[in-house]
Structure 1
Amino acid sequence: MQKLFREIGFACLLLVLALLLVCSLFWALSIGTVKLPVREIYETVLAQFTSGEPITAPGQGPVHDIVWLLRLPRLILASLVGCGLAVCGVIMQAIVKNPLADPYILGISSGASLGATSAILLGIGVSLGPNFVGIAAFIGAFAISLAVLFISNLGGRSNSMKLLLAGMALSAVCGAFSSFIVYFANNKEGMQTIAYWMMGSLAGAKWGELAIIAPIIMASVIFFWTQSRVLNLMLLGDESAITMGTDLHAYRQWYLLISSLIVGFAVYAAGMIGFVGLIIPHVIRMFTGPDHKRLIPVSALTGAIFLVICDGLCRIIIPHTELPIGILISMIGAPSFIYLMIKKTYGFGGND
């Protein structure tokens, strides 16, 4: 009976978070340079669903264009990126058995930064189209994840410590090459572009990109949710898992690749956004515990809500100016992380 009550409580929690996500979306749709009443937004959204007209069809009014062409795509991208980065944080922390891990700790962010720097200052990938910077960042992030796997398997099978050390080494190498390119390129405009891209932005969201990103992120999150048992075993360590009949080596490598895929697409669409994968799992673990069956879906919804609210705040904190979302999240995330490190009132799982 007690287990039934826990399951009902967990289901209610997910329902409440889903409702909060919808409410945060409507709130963020209503604010900005042009303020819109929530009722008018609701009518516009409902009219689009019932009309059957393409979203980009002309002559549907200024409110329709603001909601469907400007604000809603970026808010959906915010929810997807927040969901994906939060879940990747959970996975990375399980892979390396370190609660301080986040999606970028294994060198993925440095790989993305090197890809973007090479594209902007050296023109690498210009033939890939107008989004070549994001595509180059994605390639860099994914290539580094493959390199981490390769190096961690040299001289024997990889483990959490070898993955972490390989990631730190490759991160340093990528940072050095990025600095080398910036130093010799002597391109002031390019350096400004890199700085803006490193701050993160959701303003360039388009429906065509969302149609590709959404299935990948959602399918990956659902996949990780089905892997809760294996992820729980990772917290116990390889030796304990082997005694239970599970070899974590292959799982760890596949999880890293899929996480890198999510991070790569997030970087491609929104630039560098840090702290989401670090803070959200910390906070949620304090309430749900280390069980990944509960931790993953709650972190996914909370990450989506967090980034949607942050995107809304970025558009109203400074009048007539949009604050880069990476700056706001760092201003929130860094003090929060320091507080959590000092407080540390929860257990990560395993033997701690």
Structure 2
Amino acid sequence: MILSRIRDHSLWFPLVLFLLASALIATITLAVMLGPVPIAPKTVWLIAFSHLPVTDHLIAETWTKAEGHIIWNIRFPRVLLGMIVGGGLAVVGAAIQALIRNSLADPYILGVSSGASVAATLVIIFGAFSFFGAYSLSLSAFLGALAAMGLVFLLARVGGRISTARLLLSGIAVSMIMSAATSFIVTMAPDEQGIRTAMYWMLGSLTGAKWSYLTIPAWIVVTGTILLIMNYRSMNSLLMGEEAAVTLGVNMNTFRIFLVLTTALLTGTIVAVSGSIGFVGLMIPHIVRLMVGSDHRRVLPVSLFAGAIFVIWTDVAARLLLAPEELPIGIVTALFGGPFFIWLLRKSSYSFEGGAK
């Protein structure tokens, strides 16, 4: 009751956004600072601003070339890629959970990430879909995600209706099949280095982050999030059931296609640049609903910030826990996500409308 009153206060949502935005800036600063070569926060931002056309001539270079290279060419792209990946996965999770009206759904569990992985692994190991040119990895991952989601919906549809239980079970089955296909493709790699690269990528990694990798994922995540926020009323109406949504004027066939295409595009793009990272889309939207309620006008932007912060910190843990060795980020997210999923399964009082009681 008290939590509900706090969430309903007119100043609560702006305050949450402000706090998360501040936390994201602090997180980016700390994540860039941390590493084998510790660097002061002032130096981090001086180096960053020195590369901006507006401020580059105002800043005197007081850092070494090594520091400049580490900060600008290695750590900043990696942290910003983590921000894009985390925010995108959280938004996709919120959209998929609204689509099937179940808090246990996310791209990983529904097999969408696995479908993207199959296509992306073919590109990485065998150079498949090369006719897409520079966009081979992104477009093939999108098509793989779209195919997986279409297959899940096809298997779950019986008598013209989709059961939530069948959808989850179909997603798990498709995910297992796609994961097996990915593993088979990896074992057929022509060289051992290709196998190691693909296996590491399959578990999720931000290691190869470069500035050139950020533009397309950033635009797609931002554009996809804006499109979903613009349709927040339709997403809210889905929470009351398809029949209620139709009575409220939602064209279910058109809107379902829109959500499937949008989530598949976001998932495929993210998987193409980071590999398959699980549980982010499951955990973050659930936690966000505890903070701001179930209105997707609030859930989506808050999920974007919260997911970005979470993935940046899990990547920091992946870099530093076994330094100088590095863990795949998917292992770290699974350490959080596995227990969270078990807790969510056992928590019988959860509902979209009321949050967790």
Matched ranges for 1:318-333 at <5 A: 318-333=322-337
Query: In the alignment, which residue of structure 2 is the partner of 1:20?
Result: 23
Match of 2:259, SS state, is helix
- Mark the CA change 1:218 to 1:188 in structure 2 (over 3 Å): closer, same or farther: same
Residue range with higher mean Cα deviation, 254-263 or 111-120: 111-120
- How many residue pairs get aligned? The number is 346
Once the 2 structures are TM-superposed, how far is the Cα of residue 330 of structure 1 from its aligned partner? Answer: 0.9
Paired residues of 2:6 and 2:12 also in contact (CA < 8 A): no
Residue range with higher mean Cα deviation, 268-277 or 316-325: 316-325
- Mark the CA change 1:129 to 1:205 in structure 2 (over 3 Å): closer, same or farther: farther
Query: In the alignment, which residue of structure 2 is the partner of 1:56?
Result: none
Residue 215 (1) aligns with residue 219 (2): yes
Paired residues of 2:189 and 2:195 also in contact (CA < 8 A): no
Once the 2 structures are TM-superposed, how far is the Cα of residue 153 of structure 1 from its aligned partner? Answer: 7.7
The one of 11, 14, 18 aligned to 1:8: 11
- Mark the CA change 1:351 to 1:116 in structure 2 (over 3 Å): closer, same or farther: closer
Query: In the alignment, which residue of structure 1 is the partner of 2:241?
Result: 237
Once the 2 structures are TM-superposed, how far is the Cα of residue 347 of structure 1 from its aligned partner? Answer: 2.4
CA offsets 1:229-259 (integer angstroms, 9 cap, x no match): 1111111111112222323221122111101
Paired residues of 2:293 and 2:354 also in contact (CA < 8 A): no
Once the 2 structures are TM-superposed, how far is the Cα of residue 17 of structure 1 from its aligned partner? Answer: 0.4
Matched ranges for 1:81-92 at <5 A: 81-92=85-96
Gaps of 5+ in 1: 54-58
Query: In the alignment, which residue of structure 2 is the partner of 1:74?
Result: 78
Paired residues of 1:149 and 1:253 also in contact (CA < 8 A): no
- Mark the CA change 1:311 to 1:157 in structure 2 (over 3 Å): closer, same or farther: same
- Mark the CA change 1:342 to 1:3 in structure 2 (over 3 Å): closer, same or farther: closer
CA offsets 1:133-177 (integer angstroms, 9 cap, x no match): 666434422333355567778975778677656645544543454
- Mark the CA change 1:190 to 1:281 in structure 2 (over 3 Å): closer, same or farther: same
Residue 342 (1) aligns with residue 346 (2): yes
Letter in 2 for 1:84: G
Tell me the C-alpha RMSD between the 2 structures: 3.3
- Mark the CA change 1:135 to 1:18 in structure 2 (over 3 Å): closer, same or farther: same
Query: In the alignment, which residue of structure 1 is the partner of 2:250?
Result: 246
Query: In the alignment, which residue of structure 2 is the partner of 1:264?
Result: 268
The one of 305, 312, 315 aligned to 1:301: 305
Paired residues of 1:285 and 1:346 also in contact (CA < 8 A): no
Paired residues of 1:95 and 1:252 also in contact (CA < 8 A): yes
Query: In the alignment, which residue of structure 1 is the partner of 2:51?
Result: 48
Instruction: Give the share of equivalent positions with the same residue, in percent.
Output: 38
Once the 2 structures are TM-superposed, how far is the Cα of residue 215 of structure 1 from its aligned partner? Answer: 1.2
- Mark the CA change 1:351 to 1:6 in structure 2 (over 3 Å): closer, same or farther: closer
* TM-score, normalization by structure 2: 0.84
The one of 109, 133, 144 aligned to 1:105: 109
The one of 20, 36, 40 aligned to 2:39: 36
- Mark the CA change 1:145 to 1:342 in structure 2 (over 3 Å): closer, same or farther: closer
* TM-score, normalization by structure 1: 0.85
Residue range with higher mean Cα deviation, 211-220 or 270-279: 211-220
- Partner Cα distance (1:65, 1:184) in 2: 37
Letter in 2 for 1:97: R
Query: In the alignment, which residue of structure 2 is the partner of 1:140?
Result: 144
- Partner Cα distance (1:153, 1:123) in 2: 35
- Mark the CA change 1:251 to 1:164 in structure 2 (over 3 Å): closer, same or farther: farther
- Mark the CA change 1:189 to 1:228 in structure 2 (over 3 Å): closer, same or farther: same
Once the 2 structures are TM-superposed, how far is the Cα of residue 90 of structure 1 from its aligned partner? Answer: 0.6
- Partner Cα distance (2:109, 2:337) in 1: 16
Paired residues of 1:81 and 1:266 also in contact (CA < 8 A): yes
- Partner Cα distance (2:140, 2:272) in 1: 8
Letter in 2 for 1:227: N
Once the 2 structures are TM-superposed, how far is the Cα of residue 108 of structure 1 from its aligned partner? Answer: 1.3
Query: In the alignment, which residue of structure 1 is the partner of 2:296?
Result: 292
